[in-house]
A = this chain, B = another copy of it.
Amino acid sequence: MNVTRTANIYKNIQQTICRTLEEADGIGRFTEDTWEKEIGSGITCVMQNGSIIEKAGVNFSCVRGSFNGNMAKLLGENATSFAATGISSIIHSGNPFVPTIHMNVRYFNLDNGSSWFGGGIDLTPAYINPDEAHWFHQTLKEICDKYDIGFYPEWKTWADDYFYLSHRQETRGIGGIFFDRIQPANDTYFEKMLNLTSDLANVYPQIYSRLMKENGHKPFSEAEKRWQKIRRGRYVEFNLIHDRGTKFGLESDGNIESILVSLPAEVEWVYQYHPKPGSPEATTQELLKKGIVWV
């Protein structure tokens, strides 16, 4: 019952996200694909080639099925069936000064009695702007603080650890918050987490609207665009090598086009690319590390 209720709320927020982003972009419109597989159903909303947004995916899904060996390994749980619902979204902008953003909220339910919320929001600028980073983290902190002042510091560190490319020894971007396996001990706690994840999903398009408004019309050079494409390569590496959501989707025979809509449109890999010392690119590169206190 909790899954169905959560799913309905998340599904409505998906619409809010799409409408808010369409309004901020001005030109781009979301297409809506409803998919149904044995495992469940979902709605994949995708915008391609907007005025500022180059590619955005906003996925809602509600799935249930039998718990297989791979999931047991990924989740460290034993159960015979699971149900899950969530929203997962990534936005890539054509302008290198508008960061890539990611948001996910999810609720999991296993028939062994376990259930939990997870989620997070993280920002990946090609050019890190410290004022913007401060504002972004401050916005997340304020939402978390409404529910528990312990959440932000814990989840900020968690994001640093999760959105980390161990094979590159760099963070994906400036982080944000990440949390998983938050088990509601009782009904009150469930409501609290449902509200918190809803707040996060609702603030997400507002954050991005502001980022678009502030940076979306800045002129940029070919070299800056290229740097963005190279940074996007790292994004692809993270999603395909490390991201647990992507892995879970592939393992659970999810809808492949919906799972991989997270990948940016145009990407570039250059062997041994090192930005010039002292350049804005090098400054960003140096900030891709854990433990930076932005707020």
Residues of A within 8 A of B (CB): 33, 46, 48, 55, 57, 167-168, 229, 233, 236-237, 240-241, 250, 256-257, 260-261, 263-272
Contacts and interface: CB of A to CB of B under 8 A. Distances in A.
Contacts of A236: 236, 240, 267
Given A236-B236, A236-B240, A267 B267 contact: yes
A88 to B, nearest CB: 14
Nearest to A258: B271
A270 B48 contact: yes
Contacts of A261: 271
Contacts of A57: 271
Contacts of A257: 271-272
Contacts of A256: 167-168
20 contacts: A33-B272, A46-B271, A48-B271, A55-B269, A55-B271, A57-B271, A167-B250, A167-B256, A229-B266, A236-B240, A236-B267, A237-B260, A240-B240, A240-B241, A257-B272, A263-B269, A264-B269, A265-B268, A265-B269, A267-B269
A237 B241 CA distance: 9
Contacts of A237: 240, 260
Contacts of A55: 269, 271
Given A236-B236, A240-B236, A241-B250, A268 B270 contact: no
A117 to B, nearest CB: 27
Nearest to A33: B272
A195 to B, nearest CB: 32
A267 B270 contact: no
**A-B pairs with lowest CB-CB distance, top 5:** A240-B240, A263-B269, A267-B267, A46-B271, A261-B271
Contacts of A229: 266
A266 B266 contact: yes
Given A167-B256, A250-B167, A263 B233 contact: yes
A236 to B, nearest CB: 6
Contacts of A266: 229, 266-268
Of A250, A256, A266, A271, most buried by chain B (CB within 10 Å of CB) is A271
Contacts of A269: 55, 260, 263-265, 267
Contacts of A264: 269
A256 B234 CA distance: 12
Of A48, A260, A266, A267, most buried by chain B (CB within 10 Å of CB) is A267
A269 B240 CA distance: 13
Nearest to A267: B267
Contacts of A268: 265-267
Contacts of A33: 272
A258 to B, nearest CB: 9
